[in-house]
Structure 1
Amino acid sequence: MADESKKRSAPSGGADGASKKAKKLWQTPRRVDQYATQKVILPGDQGIWATCDKGREGKCTGELRDLFNEYAQLLYGDQLAAEAGAAGSDDEGDGEINIEAEIQQELADMRKPPSQSKPLFWSIKLDVQCVIFFKTRAPVEPVSFVRRIVEDAAKPNAPKRTRFCNRLMPMTLMGKATENGLIKVAQEVLAPHFHQEPHVSRKFAIRPTIRNHNVMKRMDIIQNIAHTVGPGHQVDLKKPDLLIMVEVYTSICGISVIPNDYDALKKYNLAEIFEPTPKEQPKKKIEAPKEQPAEDVKMEVEEKTEAPIAKEEAEIPAVKEEAETPAVPIKDEAAPA
């Protein structure tokens, strides 16, 4: 029995026992970017909506990220350089070498997310096709930023910078897609344009877009925005001074105020700027012949038949009548009685 128990027991050491032991793998802590992994749009965010063709969301995201970063360096290069310089000065110490403090600082930096390297643009994946959202941070101002991109694209002989992106829509501020949330966002966004002193009367138009949302109706949104604009301003749908753009998506809403060249710039649609859709020519209406009374038709037929005859008579030259010969008197040859 003792021998059998020894045979059944596993060896305590040796090469075979060592190979069966699980090896412990050392892994460095992963640096997770809390901004790049944000999966939802939150109240207080600002950003840019973009549309593309179905199935092109990934390629559109990549080309827009490159385009946005290039324009950010062009428009905000000095401010970004100042931010980088301030971050570098904070990392510099008092010059004393303290190896233990440096190690502790490096370990602490590895454990916390790199908030100082917060990107200017990061995309948020949405549960809807053909739509992309890029969240932005200061110093990027979405309206002026997008308008500069579209203006450059609309210049003569401008190179085409995008292949998959269609329309861009900047959002100054996002909030909850409720009546109170909409009014709160509207008060903050509309104040610099409609509530300034001295008062300046402006003509405006409201253009809402609703996706995957069924709580607030279109007319409710328009009425709440118009009430927030307040008195002293006029609604003009054809030639407004300012356009109030409202985007509602599931449980979030956003508002921005755009200049009146929005329609002239193809509604910020980059694809339409480079390859405009041909306009359809209006079709000519074919009018059905009107019914005429039988008497009128009969008179028209008679006039048409008589007209050629009169024409022929007019074309025949007048024949000169021959001179009449003098009549010769006929003598009565009767025999005398």
Structure 2
Amino acid sequence: MDESKKRKSDSGTGGSDPKKSKPWRVLKKSQASYAAPSIEPGDAGIWATCEMGKEGKCTAELKDLFEGYAAKLYGGAEVQVEGASDDEAKVDIEAEIKREVRGMKSKSAKKETLFQPVKVDIQCVLFFKTREPIEPVEFVHRICQDALEGATKRHRWVKRLTPMTMMGKATVEGLEKVAQSVLQPVFHAEGTPAKKFAIRPTRRNHNIMKRDEIIRQIASAVGAGHSVDLKNYDHLILVDVYRNVLGMSVVGSDFETLKQFNLAEIYDPSPKTEERHDATRDAGRKGDIQASDAEMPQIIPNTS
């Protein structure tokens, strides 16, 4: 009798029964589920290329590189933007509560990263979403300029960086909206003189909008007051189309000097690459471009 009670008591504990732990494992999986970050219209960011098979290591390298430069260039800017200001005036209880709430929001905002990697289904290509105060073009330009001037190389797998001022849908309407936002400050601000420009589109996993369509639409958005110059441009318009999203930015005339923002080429120039770029520019001037969009984005004339 005592033994049967003991057996019942032992079985009732259930602490070591593996079947008892199964529901907990299921709940843990459910709790851990979340929506992966994606590229959305209105986002800003930076495309990057890397050595094949080194996407994970390159992501870690870029995260360290970007965060280091953000601290160097902006310092406590993020805190100043999001944080609550201190008033010297006397505050009552209600004002104190409001300030505490603002402080809580500020702490939450500071936890948000300035750089968020987004997984894309294409080898050797990465994307980092950015948020204020990061301005992608200025940010990438500074990194490449420092590299050209002899900054210590702190990465191994990173190749090209391509800043995107604004992302949008890869449609005619989406391209028009992005072009209006990105090109207006450069080409249409009051008092802006006539400028020379070139267009460089890159398409990846996208065949809906044709290359010539993209060029004509952007040239039309720039307007007749400016002229095309493939070699001595004042501004180069970069357009990256990936599946159903596109991005655009405007870079300066030192783009070629900075090796098209290719850090690997800045630190270890390749004569073959230089020859290829020269041949590409010659082909572009003749209107006979053979390389694919994804392999070698080209400088394109205004065909409107």
State the shift of 1:198 in Å. 1.6
Q: Does 1:121 align with 2:115?
A: yes
Aligned to 1:214: 207
What are the ranges of 5 or more consecutive residues in structure 2 without an aligned counterpart? 1-5, 95-100, 276-304
CA-to-partner distance for each residue in 1:214-239, whole Å, 9 max, x for gaps?
A: 10011100000000111110011111
Mapping of residues 51-70 of structure 1, within 5 Å: 51-70=49-68
Question: For residue 264 of structure 2, what is the aligned residue in structure 1?
Answer: 271
Query: What is the CA distance between 1:40 and its match in structure 2?
Result: 1.9
CA distance in 2: counterparts of 1:190 and 1:126, whole angstroms: 27
Assess, with a 3 A threshold, how the Cα gap between structure 1 residues 116 and 78 changes in structure 2: closer, same or farther. closer
Pair 25,209 (structure 1): closer, same or farther in 2 beyond 3 Å: closer
* Contact 2:196 2:227 (C-alpha < 8 Å) held by counterparts: yes
Match of 1:195 in 2: 188
Q: 1:3-18 counterparts in 2 under 5 A? A: 13-18=8-13
Question: Does the Cα contact within 8 Å between 1:87 and 1:116 map onto a contact in 2?
Answer: no
**Secondary structure of 2:231 counterpart:** coil
Identity value in percent: 50
Partner secondary structure for residue 163 of structure 2: strand
Q: Contact conserved, 1:123 with 1:134, CA < 8 A, in 2? A: yes
Q: Which has the higher helix share?
A: 2
Q: Give how far 1:65 is off.
A: 0.2
Distance 1:255 1:209 in 2: 10
The residue type paired with residue 38 of structure 2 is V
Q: Compared with structure 1, are the counterparts of its residues 85 and 115 closer, same or farther at alpha carbon in structure 2 (3 Å cutoff)?
A: closer
Deviations for 1:151-209, whole angstroms, at most 9, x for unmatched residues? 00001x43112110000000000000001100110001000011111241000000000
Structure 1 match to 2:233: 240
Aligned: 1:165 with 2:163: no
Change in Cα spacing, 1:149 to 1:183, as seen in structure 2 (3 Å) is: same
Q: Does the aligned pair in 2 maintain the 1:76–1:139 contact within 8 Å?
A: yes
Whole-Å separation in 2 of the counterparts to 1:15 and 1:129:
56
Q: Deviations over 1:89-117 (max 9, x none)?
A: 9xxx969xxxxxxxxx9xxx9xxxx5552
Count of residues in Structure 1 that have an aligned counterpart in Structure 2: 252
* Cα distance in 2, alignment partners of residues 73 and 151 from structure 1: 17
The normalised TM-score by structure 2 is: 0.74
Structure 1 CA distance, aligned partners of 2:125 and 2:51?
A: 9
Q: Is the 8 A contact 1:57 1:131 kept in 2?
A: yes
Query: Any gaps of 5 or more consecutive residues in structure 1?
Result: 1-10, 96-104, 283-337
Residue pair 2:78, 2:110 contacting (<8 A) in 1 also: no
Letter aligned with residue 120 of structure 2 = L
**Which residue of structure 1 aligns with residue 253 of structure 2?**
260
Secondary structure at 1:243 match in 2: strand
TM-score normalized by the length of structure 1: 0.67
Aligned pair partner of 1:250 in 243, 249, 258: 243
* Cα deviation code 1:282-331 (max 9, x no counterpart): 9xxxxxxxxxxxxxxxxxxxxxxxxxxxxxxxxxxxxxxxxxxxxxxxxx
Query: Which structure would you say has the larger Rg?
Result: 1
In the TM superposition, residue 81 of structure 1 has moved relative to its aligned partner by 3.5
